[in-house]
A and B are shown apart, each in its own frame.
Chain A
């Protein structure tokens, strides 16, 4: 279950283990049998930390989903609510508690575990409803950074970007800093901190402040990370808007990966056994876990999709050959050996079957005319063509009422690649969108403007071409099969964020001062003193380890690009990635859209 966490350069099992221990300690505080009532959003992230078995060992007998009404009649001593600190959830809890049958014996004890933080606001709210006193333990579980893979951590804080840029609420940055303190407690103080952007500056300040305020936190662990790079999402608003073209990126774009799981249409996965032809096709989506524990997936996830087919077919040949071996097995010993390999071969076959099916599903979409047209426009914009006038394809899409998010992604992309749209162009798009999708979307357009994704060109000057050229964001000679540059992840466009990381490692940011000034927010460097004796003496040829923290979200394609840099032979740096949330253009824009349905209560 967790072996994939230790496969990378930094063993993230320790982080998971720390999380598990904290959970056990809390459960043991509530003596006796228990039932957990879950805020449904949390089950995914928690699943990456612990399985039911752990809870069961600590006398958790029942688990329910949080919903209004009476709690089920489970015969347990404790009822524990695992919730995010949200007011609407407090209302449900209040309802649950008030409806509890006071006459029942024995009485059940209530507890709340807030994830990731206790909230005074929520407790105040519970107090006003007159139920605060019903809770014996009110604690917090700081699930800040959750290990997703051997080189990937996420806070899974969906609204972090929106809160920082629309609501000016920097609580998620505070959590990020907390998470980094935890990480340092486990893996040693990180000697060098670099950053770009306002949020990055804040996080670095908070880290330094926290360190000052807890002198006890000075630890004597040999530092695992050499460098921390903090990057604001708003330094690079462009990248998430482009369609990711890696295998994993496309799975996420098309089906959405949630907490390493993806749900796929079942048709392609129907078991085709002989004699069962008439059986009904499964109707529930097929759910698969995707992480580096699966050998084949680890090999193809970060490849450009155009390079996936050949790998799959190579694998197919190898497996077929392996199964053919059985005809040659003559002696008992040979047969025995064949049989002993069977489970592994079966596993490989099953994995191959799954990914062949997924690749087919994706191929159906990537070969469609609309996908092609959409990509054409994206690539035109990113390479600087016709960004200053109304685009025909976008106009057509609006006329045919394609999904609004798709339109917004393209218009925002155009706006960014032109350092803002001409007022006339912007007004035209807005008008078309409002007339076609409804005037109430003026609220969403307003949000996008506030976040800087959509805006009128202010200075009459377009900075994007300079940035593109200096950072080499557009590469003409991209090699999708055997890439030699990170631009392969978008078939031509090199993600700006990752380019910044790459240039920081070599030759250093001093070489791009001018461009850094064009990008929003300050760039800075901080050093954290290490006690003598912990200073690293680097072995010759040993790679540095850099933790890149994306504040406001990161895409799978960006992760792939960083992994590509890690694997470069003369790269000299290996990367571990942390983020507030794994995003793609669609989920990101969605988080910024005004919710148009009234709240359900």
Chain B
């Protein structure tokens, strides 16, 4: 468990690490206070409104672009009333705008000069100065005007396209020409052009040929995948991914095999800069794990850092677009069979099972709630449906509404715990939070009580009792309950801190007694009420002659 507070403090002071604290807390605070005070006192002296650059409430100087959009838009929409309801809706946010209480733009303030509240800005004044003269012509390089033939080489075509000129690609007829064009585009790194060439190829090549060629051109492949994703051509995309997948079914299980990684790396870097092509199964083996500190093959980024989305995950992702829960559940069920890595498979299986449970629980509970028979639902109406909530949230829900159910019920906490192999810690934390919220202190007690084989009971908390105390405290547990758990905190310092913080007097007193610390105990007397049972207790301990005080 995390280091206790006091320990931590000592740790920071004694060790070489520096925490981010103010060296002298009070001094720092007072420094800020001081400047605040100074600032406030000065307010009376200066009246601040006049002569400063005007700023709208949103803080933008009057005349800035975003300000003007709102300004011009609001003036024009007002003349439009009744014309277009969608516009009206859009402009409602501007309604709040005219509140242009003036404040300051800092930049103007620091100049310390008076400015007219006009649209004139400093920079406009600057535009007539010499700066302009030595800024050379940036736009069109001369080459653009040059020749005007239509017989561009692939390279020229790519360069022209990079400059945004329209080029006909139709004259690239043979497969050979098209591929040269594609390779030129890739070498230019301009995604815009690469995509344009791909669109052309997609239109003019048979799918199998296109796929085959792309398999050895990873960068282009990534661009096509991205393009298909963006334009929503899911069918084409899945065909492509399936094609890539079919040729390397073996590869799916590879990623975790380190040794193969190294051999691929060596092969790659031997092949020089541009022409390095790793077969896609090798690339697949590499992609999820190209490493940070030193494992990256140095000259082959275009292949190994070209991680294209695995078919499985991209398919799994689709579930997010399905609103209907039944359909979503069916879809997830279909995903389970896909060849994910072992650990991913188990997560996706869990996802499916969870949604399946939630659908059952939701139907049942909605019925219970509307019937109004169940007390818990009457007393604590549900705020939202449990559908599509994370597992831990579901567990909390079930600890809240279905705590006592038998393990055989789908909605029972123990069932969830077993099904999803929820770790003890996680379970106890969640159950504790749920039961504490309901102020079911007996359940809380039972949560930490274990019996050994002789029938003795013992208190145990896998999360540490200081955490238990925190959670209980957050749920406003009464001192009697709190005290019981504070007492169980093992570390003495932490126990004292918590007990003092939450006013569990008995625990404090007993701890000092056990520490034989007369000084502290005497000092604590002023913290308890005069004439109270606690005071009496302190007095009787102090008067006990049998204790051998250490001070």
Is the beta-carbon distance between A312 and B292 smaller than 8 angstroms?
A: no
- Asked if A121 meets B192 with Cβ closer than 8 Å, knowing A56-B119, A356-B32, the reply is yes
A residues in contact with B76, CB < 8 Å: 62, 64, 72-74
- Distance in angstroms between the alpha carbons of A55 and B2 in the assembled complex: 59
Is the beta-carbon distance between B294 and A518 smaller than 8 angstroms?
A: yes
Is the beta-carbon distance between A120 and B192 smaller than 8 angstroms?
A: yes
Is the beta-carbon distance between A293 and B110 smaller than 8 angstroms?
A: yes
- Distance in angstroms between the alpha carbons of A42 and B48 in the assembled complex: 33
Task: Give the contact stretch, choosing among A15-23, A329-337, A502-510, A543-551.
Answer: A15-23
Q: Does B132 contact A (CB under 8 A)?
A: yes
Is the beta-carbon distance between A17 and B317 smaller than 8 angstroms?
A: no
Chain B 283-324: CB-based contact to A (< 8 A → 1; otherwise 0): 000011111111110110110011110000100110111000
Q: Does A291 contact B (CB under 8 A)?
A: yes
Is the beta-carbon distance between B307 and A72 smaller than 8 angstroms?
A: no
Is the beta-carbon distance between A186 and B65 smaller than 8 angstroms?
A: no
Is the beta-carbon distance between A439 and B354 smaller than 8 angstroms?
A: yes
Q: Which residue of A lies closest to B89 (CB)?
A: A69
A interface residue count range (under 10 / 10 to 19 / 20 to 34 / 35 or more): 35 or more
Q: Does B1 contact A (CB under 8 A)?
A: yes
Contact of A522 among B80, B299, B348 (CB under 8 A): B299
Write the nearest CB–CB distance from B23 to chain A, whole angstroms: 7
B residues in contact with A439, CB < 8 Å: 347-348, 350-351, 354, 390-391
Q: Does B279 contact A (CB under 8 A)?
A: no
- Distance in angstroms between the alpha carbons of A374 and B17 in the assembled complex: 14
- 21 residue pairs bridging A and B, Cβ less than 8 Å apart: A1-B121, A4-B107, A18-B135, A50-B123, A72-B77, A73-B79, A168-B308, A170-B189, A174-B189, A237-B292, A288-B106, A306-B23, A351-B109, A352-B35, A367-B22, A376-B17, A434-B391, A446-B313, A463-B293, A519-B294, A521-B298
- Distance in angstroms between the alpha carbons of A72 and B84 in the assembled complex: 9
- Distance in angstroms between the alpha carbons of A517 and B113 in the assembled complex: 55
Is the beta-carbon distance between B72 and A63 smaller than 8 angstroms?
A: yes
Contact of A596 among B28, B108, B307, B320 (CB under 8 A): B320
Q: Does A167 contact B (CB under 8 A)?
A: yes
Q: Which residue of B lies closest to A442 (CB)?
A: B347
Q: Which residue of A lies closest to B28 (CB)?
A: A309
Q: Does A407 contact B (CB under 8 A)?
A: no
- Distance in angstroms between the alpha carbons of A517 and B298 in the assembled complex: 9
- Distance in angstroms between the alpha carbons of A434 and B344 in the assembled complex: 11
- Distance in angstroms between the alpha carbons of A86 and B316 in the assembled complex: 25
- Distance in angstroms between the alpha carbons of A56 and B291 in the assembled complex: 52
Write the nearest CB–CB distance from A83 to chain B, whole angstroms: 14
Q: Does A572 contact B (CB under 8 A)?
A: no
Is the beta-carbon distance between B121 and A51 smaller than 8 angstroms?
A: yes
Write the nearest CB–CB distance from A88 to chain B, whole angstroms: 9
Chain A 260-292: CB-based contact to B (< 8 A → 1; otherwise 0): 010100000000111000000010111111010
Is the beta-carbon distance between A521 and B1 smaller than 8 angstroms?
A: no
Q: Which residue of A lies closest to B219 (CB)?
A: A168
Q: Which residue of B lies closest to A264 (CB)?
A: B59
- Distance in angstroms between the alpha carbons of A180 and B40 in the assembled complex: 48
Q: Does A499 contact B (CB under 8 A)?
A: no
Q: Does A208 contact B (CB under 8 A)?
A: no
Is the beta-carbon distance between A317 and B38 smaller than 8 angstroms?
A: yes
Is the beta-carbon distance between A435 and B422 smaller than 8 angstroms?
A: yes
Name B's interface SS.
helix
Task: Give the contact stretch, choosing among B225-233, B234-242, B243-251, B540-548.
Answer: B225-233
- Distance in angstroms between the alpha carbons of A446 and B312 in the assembled complex: 12
Q: Which of A53, A185, A237 has the most CB of B within 10 A?
A: A53
Task: Give the contact stretch, choosing among A453-461, A532-540, A553-561.
Answer: A453-461
Q: Does A396 contact B (CB under 8 A)?
A: yes
Is the beta-carbon distance between B294 and A347 smaller than 8 angstroms?
A: no
Instruction: Give residues of chain A (486-520) contacting chain B, Cβ–Cβ below 8 Å.
Output: 491-492, 517-520
Q: Does B127 contact A (CB under 8 A)?
A: yes
Task: Give the contact stretch, choosing among B139-147, B482-490, B523-531.
Answer: B139-147
Q: Does A485 contact B (CB under 8 A)?
A: no
- Distance in angstroms between the alpha carbons of A518 and B65 in the assembled complex: 47
Q: Which residue of A lies closest to B73 (CB)?
A: A64
Q: What would 6 more interface pairs be, CB under 8 Å, given A51-B65, A217-B141, A357-B36?
A: A62-B76, A120-B192, A350-B109, A356-B39, A376-B8, A435-B420
B residues in contact with A293, CB < 8 Å: 106-107, 110-111
Write the nearest CB–CB distance from A370 to chain B, whole angstroms: 12
Write the nearest CB–CB distance from A193 to chain B, whole angstroms: 17
Write the nearest CB–CB distance from A340 to chain B, whole angstroms: 10
- Asked if A17 meets B135 with Cβ closer than 8 Å, knowing A53-B120, A120-B192, A168-B218, the reply is yes
- Distance in angstroms between the alpha carbons of A357 and B103 in the assembled complex: 15
Is the beta-carbon distance between A17 and B132 smaller than 8 angstroms?
A: yes
B residues in contact with A54, CB < 8 Å: 124
- Distance in angstroms between the alpha carbons of A288 and B56 in the assembled complex: 11
Is the beta-carbon distance between A213 and B143 smaller than 8 angstroms?
A: yes
Write the nearest CB–CB distance from A132 to chain B, whole angstroms: 11
- Distance in angstroms between the alpha carbons of A401 and B396 in the assembled complex: 12
- Distance in angstroms between the alpha carbons of A420 and B86 in the assembled complex: 52
Write the nearest CB–CB distance from A267 to chain B, whole angstroms: 14
Instruction: Give residues of chain A (1-25) contacting chain B, Cβ–Cβ below 8 Å.
Output: 1-4, 11, 13-14, 16-18, 20-22, 25
B residues in contact with A126, CB < 8 Å: none
Q: Does B223 contact A (CB under 8 A)?
A: yes
Q: Does B161 contact A (CB under 8 A)?
A: yes
A residues in contact with B83, CB < 8 Å: 73
Is the beta-carbon distance between A69 and B63 smaller than 8 angstroms?
A: no
Q: Does A591 contact B (CB under 8 A)?
A: no
B residues in contact with A182, CB < 8 Å: 138
- Distance in angstroms between the alpha carbons of A140 and B163 in the assembled complex: 10
Write the nearest CB–CB distance from A252 to chain B, whole angstroms: 16
- Asked if A399 meets B320 with Cβ closer than 8 Å, knowing A53-B121, A74-B76, A352-B39, the reply is no
- Distance in angstroms between the alpha carbons of A38 and B72 in the assembled complex: 12
Task: Give the contact stretch, choosing among B173-181, B193-201, B442-450, B453-461.
Answer: B193-201
Write the nearest CB–CB distance from A324 to chain B, whole angstroms: 10
Q: Does A541 contact B (CB under 8 A)?
A: no
Q: Does B371 contact A (CB under 8 A)?
A: no
Q: Which residue of B lies closest to A75 (CB)?
A: B76
Is the beta-carbon distance between A443 and B313 smaller than 8 angstroms?
A: yes
Chain A 321-362: CB-based contact to B (< 8 A → 1; otherwise 0): 001001000000000000000111111111111101101100
Q: Does B191 contact A (CB under 8 A)?
A: yes
Contact of A51 among B123, B223, B295, B354 (CB under 8 A): B123
Contact of A43 among B43, B65, B199 (CB under 8 A): B65
A residues in contact with B37, CB < 8 Å: 316
Chain A 570-601: CB-based contact to B (< 8 A → 1; otherwise 0): 00000000000000000000000010111000
Write the nearest CB–CB distance from A80 to chain B, whole angstroms: 13
Q: Does A569 contact B (CB under 8 A)?
A: no
Contact of B73 among A4, A65, A310 (CB under 8 A): A65
A residues in contact with B1, CB < 8 Å: 392
Q: Which residue of B lies closest to A347 (CB)?
A: B109
Is the beta-carbon distance between B347 and A434 smaller than 8 angstroms?
A: yes
Is the beta-carbon distance between B34 and A316 smaller than 8 angstroms?
A: yes
- Distance in angstroms between the alpha carbons of A162 and B443 in the assembled complex: 48
Q: Does B10 contact A (CB under 8 A)?
A: no
- Asked if A273 meets B123 with Cβ closer than 8 Å, knowing A17-B135, A43-B65, A124-B196, the reply is no
Is the beta-carbon distance between A73 and B31 smaller than 8 angstroms?
A: no
Is the beta-carbon distance between A313 and B143 smaller than 8 angstroms?
A: no
Q: Which of B230, B291, B422 has the most CB of A within 10 A?
A: B291
Is the beta-carbon distance between A287 and B58 smaller than 8 angstroms?
A: yes
Is the beta-carbon distance between A73 and B80 smaller than 8 angstroms?
A: yes
Is the beta-carbon distance between B84 and A346 smaller than 8 angstroms?
A: no
Q: Which of B40, B59, B142, B351 has the most CB of A within 10 A?
A: B59
Is the beta-carbon distance between B131 and A14 smaller than 8 angstroms?
A: yes
Q: Which residue of B lies closest to A441 (CB)?
A: B390
Is the beta-carbon distance between A427 and B59 smaller than 8 angstroms?
A: no
Contact of B288 among A120, A294, A313, A449 (CB under 8 A): A449
Q: Does B136 contact A (CB under 8 A)?
A: yes
A residues in contact with B107, CB < 8 Å: 1, 4, 289, 291, 293-294
- Distance in angstroms between the alpha carbons of A274 and B41 in the assembled complex: 12
